[in-house]
Amino acid sequence: MQSEKQPSFGEAVLFGSQFHSTTVIALAIVCSSEHRLTMSWIKTVSAAEADKRLKTLYDRIAGPDGQVDNILEAHGLRPHTLEGHMALYKSVLHHFRNTLEKSYLETIGVWVSRLNGCDYCVEHHFSGLVRLLDDAERSVQIRAAIDGADLTGAFSGRDLAGLRYAEKLTRDPAAMQADDVTALRDAGFDDGQILEINQVVAYFCYANRTVLGLGVSHIGETLGLSPGDSDDPDNLGHA
């Protein structure tokens, strides 16, 4: 009997997100063949092992059932770096003063992560993007365009210009010119929005290198949780 073809990890996340968050992680665990046996190549500090300061920080950023994402727990040996990570993450993606749609900023993050070969961030943030869009057809279209490196299959105009800027800044930052910013203005972005795009690209390059350099894996995680309360910059809780 021919074995049934298993869905890709991204397909599992997309399919499961239409139901319940527990379905997402169950499908992710079953369908991904890339899980590592450890959550990181360096020692991490669990909530049970954390000292008072780190435990307080973990409590602030925890999601349902006390989950602290593996990328964040990887900072456990140096809690001050976790504080810096969360301050940057919250400000560039989940802050009320940003004017670009959060779904667009997340799309940039998924694109940058794909360019950097960071599957961990692709899957986490694509899952979050699916929740934000609440549109299965559009989500499939975006995922296909990103995975196929053919952005014109899902984007045009201003949105495409921002993603092209993100691509160049990720692939060849030393080649950036003033004309790259001018092209964004011509596409319809104001300078504050250009800064938003720039900072999302910079954050994801940082996060991707944290993950790839420390071997952070998806083991044990519910995907797509985020500190999404943009109205409260001090609320770091993941939901």
- Chain segment 75-86, per-residue pLDDT in tens: 999 999 999 999
Does 29 have pLDDT greater than 80?
no
Range of the domain at 145: 9-214
| Cα distances (Å, whole numbers) of residue 175 to 100, 109, 167, 181, 197 | 25, 20, 12, 12, 17
Q: Is pTM beyond 0.75 here?
A: yes
Report the C-alpha gap between 79 and 202 in whole angstroms. 21
- Higher pLDDT, residue 118 or 23: 118
pLDDT in tens, 91-133: 999 999 999 999 999 999 999 999 999 999 999 999 999 999 9
Asked whether 203 and 92 are in contact (CB, 8 A), the reply is yes
Report the C-alpha gap between 166 and 44 in whole angstroms. 32
Percent of the chain with pLDDT over 70: 84
**Distance between the two ends of the chain, CA-based, in angstroms?**
42
Report the C-alpha gap between 84 and 153 in whole angstroms. 36
3-state DSSP assignment of residue 195: helix
| pLDDT of amino acid 230 | 81
Does 173 have pLDDT greater than 50?
yes
Region class of 3: left (phi > 0), else alpha (psi between -120 and 50), else beta: beta
Percent of the chain with pLDDT over 90: 73
Give the domain CATH number at 157. Answer: 1.20.1290.10
Per the structure, the count of domains in the chain is: 1
221 domain residue, yes or no: no
183 domain residue, yes or no: yes
156 domain residue, yes or no: yes
**H helical segments located in 172-222:** 178-187, 191-214
Asked whether 28 and 218 are in contact (CB, 8 A), the reply is yes
94 domain residue, yes or no: yes
- Provide DSSP, 136-175: HHHHHHHHHHHHTT-GGGT--HHHHHHHHHHHHHHH-GGG
| pLDDT of amino acid 229 | 82
| pLDDT of amino acid 22 | 35
Report the C-alpha gap between 38 and 216 in whole angstroms. 8
67 domain residue, yes or no: yes
For residues 5-19, give the mean pLDDT.
44
90 domain residue, yes or no: yes
Backbone dihedral angles phi then psi of residue 55, each to the nearest 5 degrees = -60, -40
222 domain residue, yes or no: no
Report the C-alpha gap between 169 and 167 in whole angstroms. 6
200 domain residue, yes or no: yes
